[in-house]
Amino acid sequence: MVEKEVIVKNTLGIHARPATQFVKIASKYSCEVYVIKDGIEVNGKSIMSLLILTATKGSKLTIRCSGPDEEKALKELVDLVEGGFGED
């Protein structure tokens, strides 16, 4: 299992488009992906679960991956969040 904390940088936070991007990347990998915010852990391969987190700009998230390709998945997901989902 690998995990990393990231800060949401884009102005609008994780709304439908960033959530879709996140799930699209997470679903490419066979490992389990979880996102944790304020003690709430959700499935990182579910758009609705990510939206429930209401992660606004400045929110601290932990991305946790567990499985055979966990390192690659974590790196790509961290890059997505730290890159502001290509917004701003």
43 is catalytic: no
Residues in contact with 78: Cβ distance below 8 Å, sequence separation at least 6, in sequence order: 4, 6, 63
Please state the φ and ψ torsions of residue 83, each to the nearest 5 degrees.
Answer: -85, 5
Q: Beta 60-66 vs 32-37: how paired, if at all?
A: antiparallel
Q: Tell me the one-letter amino acid at 31.
A: C
- Catalytic-role residue among 3, 15, 36, 59: 15
Active site residues per annotation: 15
